[in-house]
Amino acid sequence: MKIISKSLSDTKKVAEDFIKKLSNQTQSEALVVGLYGDLGSGKTTFTQAIAKIFNIKEDVTSPTFVIEKIYTINDKKFKKLIHIDAYRLDSAKELSALDWERTLGDSKNIIFIEWPERVLEVLPKNHAKIFFKFLSENEREIEI
Ligand SMILES: Nc1ncnc2c1ncn2[C@@H]1O[C@H](COP(=O)(O)OP(=O)(O)O)[C@@H](O)[C@H]1O
Ligand SMILES: [Mg+2]
């Protein structure tokens, strides 16, 4: 499904719909969502919208330099939201240093990962994928 977002509130609506659809699914591992798209296409903004939906009060800023940020959430399905930016990782092995196997094994985790193509080997093959495209200053295409 392709959606054209013309504003931050459109993007927020897309995030809400996405979370709603997830609530009917069950999984035995962490839920991994790959956020694909160029710089400035809206990956971090989308994650911030998700964080709001989960009532995260802290500022959700891009984890470009720290690679990974973990937020505790109070949700029926999920206990932690994990935001990863793989842009600076040179290989999937570097994720292992962040206790990736354990993070992945916990079905109470929901993981949003920017630049997933850089660590594709260690992501579940069937992870959820969202593709972002810059169209104009205020317009983004979001394909789920
Ligand atoms: N419709 C829109 N949806 C999402 N972001 C938008 C939109 N219009 C403008 N923007 C802006 O685009 C930028 C996207 O940046 P960011 O989310 O950091 O991208 P990325 O993480 O993909 O590099 C933000 O400054 C945001 O305010
Ligand atoms: Mg980003």
Q: Kindly report whether the global pTM for this prediction surpasses the value 0.95.
A: yes
Of the listed ligands, the closest to the CA of 134 is 1
Residues within a 6 A CB radius of ligand 1: 5-8, 10-11, 37, 39-45, 62, 114, 132, 138-140
Q: Ligand 1 atom closest to Cα of 132?
A: 22
> pLDDT tens, 22-61?
878 888 999 999 999 999 999 999 999 999 999 999 999 9
Ligand 2 centroid to Cα of residue 41, in Å, is 8
pLDDT tens, position by position, 56-86: 999 999 988 889 999 999 999 999 999 999 9
- At 143, give phi and psi (nearest 5°): -115, 125
Residue 96 CA to chain centroid, in angstroms?
A: 18
Q: Which domains does the chain have, with CATH numbers?
A: 2-143 (3.40.50.300)
Helix (H) or strand (E) segment spanning residue 4: strand 2-5
| 59 vs 141: CA distance, rounded Å | 25
Distance CA 107, CA 78 (A): 8
Instruction: For residue 22, give the DSSP letter.
Output: H
Q: List pLDDT tens digits, range 105-126.
A: 999 999 999 999 999 999 999 9
Distance 41 CA to ligand 1 centre (A): 6
Q: How far apart are CA 16 and CA 9, in angstroms?
A: 10
Q: Any idea what DSSP says for residue 118?
A: G
Beta bridge partners of 141: 4, 133
For ligand 1, the distance from its centroid to the CA atom of residue 45, given in whole angstroms, is 5
Q: What pLDDT, on a 0 to 100 scale, did the predictor assign at position 47?
A: 98
